[in-house]
Amino acid sequence: MTSVAVVGATGAIGRSVISILAERDFPVSSLRLLASAKSAGQVIETAWGPVTVEDLASADPAGIETAIFSAGGDRSLQFAPAFAQAGATVIDNSSAFRMKADVPLVVAGINDEAAHGHTGIIANPNCTTMTLLMAVAPLHRAAGLTSMVASSYQAVSGAGKSGVDELSRQTKWFQTQENSLLDGSWEDPGGDLWPRPIAFNVLPIIGDATTHGYTDEELKLRNETRKILDSPDIVVEPTCVRVPVMTGHGTSATLHFDRPVTPGEAVEILGDAHGVQVWNETVATPLDAVGVDDVLVSRIRPTLDGKGGLNLWTVGDNVRKGAALNTVQIAEIINAGPAR
């Protein structure tokens, strides 16, 4: 049995973590829930009884064995090291520690063994990287990925509840002036998250600009792919796009390998892969992926360049497998101990 703390317990991912811990019968001996001061004092019903939310800033981490952080990068940087120093294994869902050399970046089912090399903190990858690599990693193991062009289609829940609220509000706004969307006379509904409307629209940029016009979100896709696959020379060309979908990140990827890979071989490899469903008869969509543990893969087809590459489409629940589920799976890996 393990003493567990969920940090950021009142957010969407934190609540999902609590639910998944119960669903998967994780051996919780005691559960502590922590969040910001404004959430402290709330009582959350859990499978282990009602738990009062504590203020993270004043909480004593002593006695916690596993701490799952989903409270944002700033809070992780501020508080996670203290939890680790107090003896907890911290599984962090932010970008704060992902690229640090001494912090494992783990996708359960892909590089489980990396989790056992931690020194107190384990990082959870970006949700887009994670759902894509569930399909890409088995192919890489079989044929050696050399390059990948990836375009993501990311749901608004990736920006949190505020993203969901903004899409909902803007959708209602445009529904009162549908003809304006056809003739260009529409009026901007305004928003707090994005400079352009997201409802009935597509925003071909996510994150903050860095060098050469790429955003930090796009560089995460490149850098995290290389680290997780332990292949620093893989060429990754990323484009990240925000779409008017509530939940479910999709990615279109073009893959080339050390040797040709046929669609038939890819279907066979992915059919045996952990956490993957191959959809041959029906195209998988974000709505299909919501609430599903597995990543859905469809549209597997050869590249047209004659070089034996593959094109494919992946989609996964960015809140579930892309965040909450993977943190619990990492906790299970640590709880089980190294493979013998």
Tens-place pLDDT, residues 127-186: 999 999 999 999 999 999 999 999 999 999 999 999 999 999 999 999 999 999 999 999
Which residue, among 299, 308, 301, 297, has the nearest Cα to 271 in the 3D structure?
297
Residue 295 and residue 150 in one domain: yes
Q: Which of the following is catalytic: 127, 140, 240, 256?
A: 127
Which residue, among 34, 30, 33, has the nearest Cα to 3 in the 3D structure?
30
Q: Which two tokens stand for residue 166?
A: 């903004």
Please name the residues in contact with 285: beta carbons below 8 A apart, sequence gap of 6 or more. Answer: 248, 250, 315
Tens-place pLDDT, residues 269-319: 999 999 999 999 999 999 999 999 999 999 999 999 999 999 999 999 999
Q: Which two tokens stand for residue 60?
A: 């004593």
| 337, pLDDT greater than 90 | no
Which residue, among 67, 21, 106, has the nearest Cα to 328 in the 3D structure?
21
Q: How confident is the model at residue 109 (pLDDT cuts 50, 70, 90)?
A: very high
The total number of structural domains that make up the chain? 2
> Measured between alpha carbons, how far apart are the two ends of the chain, in Å?
21
Q: Is residue 240 among the annotated active site residues?
A: no
Sheet with 28-35, edge to edge strand ranges: 54-55, 28-35, 2-7, 66-69, 89-92, 121-123
pLDDT at 339: 67
Cβ 93 vs Cβ 124: under 8 Å:
yes
Residue 7 and residue 116 in one domain: yes
- Report the C-alpha dihedral over residues 253, 258, 259, 264, rounded to 10 degrees: -30
Residue 23 and residue 113 in one domain: yes
Which residue, among 2, 62, 65, has the nearest Cα to 29 in the 3D structure?
2
Residue 296 and residue 328 in one domain: no
Tens-place pLDDT, residues 205-263: 999 999 899 999 999 999 999 999 999 999 999 999 999 999 999 999 999 999 999 99
Residue 157 and residue 274 in one domain: yes
Which residue, among 92, 219, 112, has the nearest Cα to 103 in the 3D structure?
92
Residue 118 and residue 14 in one domain: yes
Q: Which of the following is catalytic: 118, 140, 249, 256?
A: 249
Cβ 278 vs Cβ 138: under 8 Å:
no
pLDDT at 338: 79
Residue 292 and residue 219 in one domain: yes
Residue 256 and residue 296 in one domain: yes
pLDDT at 220: 97
Domain limits for position 235: 129-317
Residue 116 and residue 143 in one domain: no
Residue 18 and residue 79 in one domain: yes
Q: Is residue 256 among the annotated active site residues?
A: no
Residue 83 and residue 145 in one domain: no
What type of residue sits at position 133? L
Which residue, among 139, 95, 141, has the nearest Cα to 121 in the 3D structure?
95
Residue 113 and residue 145 in one domain: no
In this structure, what CATH number is given to the domain that contains residue 58?
3.40.50.720
Tens-place pLDDT, residues 23-52: 999 999 999 999 999 999 999 999 999 999
Tokens 């003809």 — which residue? 179
